[in-house]
């Protein structure tokens, strides 16, 4: 994916910014008061979420692709947002356990090769009681969705998967509870999901 997104980087904003603006607004409306909190964006891309963020949090961004990160760096600079940007893999995060109050996963869970591992990692670095904001395209359990699955054959090697069922990912993470699950773009193919990590130890 690093190679693919290196090629996407120069045109990503032109293709993605407008169509996903409402999705970002909808998801980040759930951010609430994050004053002095630690907030991580996994797969931050070119930083299209940055204009929607409130001031006062400690922001971190991680991405696999240096060309995307460079765009995020320039955007943060232009917006005067202080953020620590790091190259890394969503499936093996370079952060310690329970480091963040909020983790944002915008169009990344359906991009990585192992979404189970990426969600497990996001949960690991989240503090008990912390929140996860997910915005992505997911199938529902039992959806046959032949057209979307077919599209996946084309898109998977160059951009994104189309076959991820969020409920199956969640089944493996009993410490995460759904607080909100709202339909968004393309008739609800894209969803904005808010999760909270349990403050109690949960048997897996
Ligand atoms: C569809 S873009 C989403 C970018 C951004 N979150 C947004 O909403 O515009 C997917 C991003 O995930 C990054 N990516 C792909 N695989 C990754 C991985 N294993 N770990 C971290 N980032 C990854 C890509 O480089 C790209 O920037």
Which residues in the chain come in under a pLDDT of 70?
152, 154-155, 157-159, 203-204
What architecture is the 2-197 domain classified under in CATH?
3-Layer(aba) Sandwich (3.40)
d(CA 135, ligand 1 centre) in Å: 12
Return the best residue to mutate from 4, 15, 21, 45 for the ligand 1 pocket (most ligand atoms within 8 A of CB).
Answer: 45
Domain range annotation of the chain? 2-197
- Taking only the tens place, the pLDDT of each residue in 108-125 is 999 999 999 999 999 999
d(CA 200, ligand 1 centre) in Å: 31
Give pLDDT, residue 143.
Answer: 77
Give pLDDT, residue 186.
Answer: 81
d(CA 190, ligand 1 centre) in Å: 16
Query: In angstroms, rounded to a whole number, what is the distance separating the alpha carbons of residues 149 and 155?
Result: 10
Give pLDDT, residue 204.
Answer: 64
């Amino acid at each position: 994916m690093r190679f693919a997104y290196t090629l996407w980087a120069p045109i990503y904003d032109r293709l993605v910014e407008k169509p996903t603006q409402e999705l970002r607004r909808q998801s980040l409306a759930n951010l609430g008061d994050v004053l002095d909190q630690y907030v991580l964006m996994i797969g931050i891309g070119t930083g299209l979420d940055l204009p929607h963020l409130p001031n006062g949090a400690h922001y971190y961004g991680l991405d696999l692709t240096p060309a995307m990160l460079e765009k995020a760096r320039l955007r943060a600079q232009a917006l005067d947002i202080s953020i620590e940007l790091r190259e890394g893999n969503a499936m093996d995060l370079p952060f310690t356990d329970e480091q963040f109050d909020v983790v944002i996963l915008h169009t990344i869970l359906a991009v990585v090769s192992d979404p189970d591992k990426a969600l497990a990692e996001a949960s690991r670095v989240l503090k008990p009681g912390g929140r996860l904001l997910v915005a992505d395209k997911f199938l529902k359990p039992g959806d046959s969705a032949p057209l979307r699955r077919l599209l996946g054959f084309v898109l998977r090697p160059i951009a994104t998967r189309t076959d991820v069922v969020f409920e199956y990912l969640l089944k493996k993470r009993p410490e995460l509870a759904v607080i909100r699950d709202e339909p968004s773009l393309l008739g609800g193919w894209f969803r904005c999901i808010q999760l909270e990590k349990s403050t109690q130890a949960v048997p897996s």
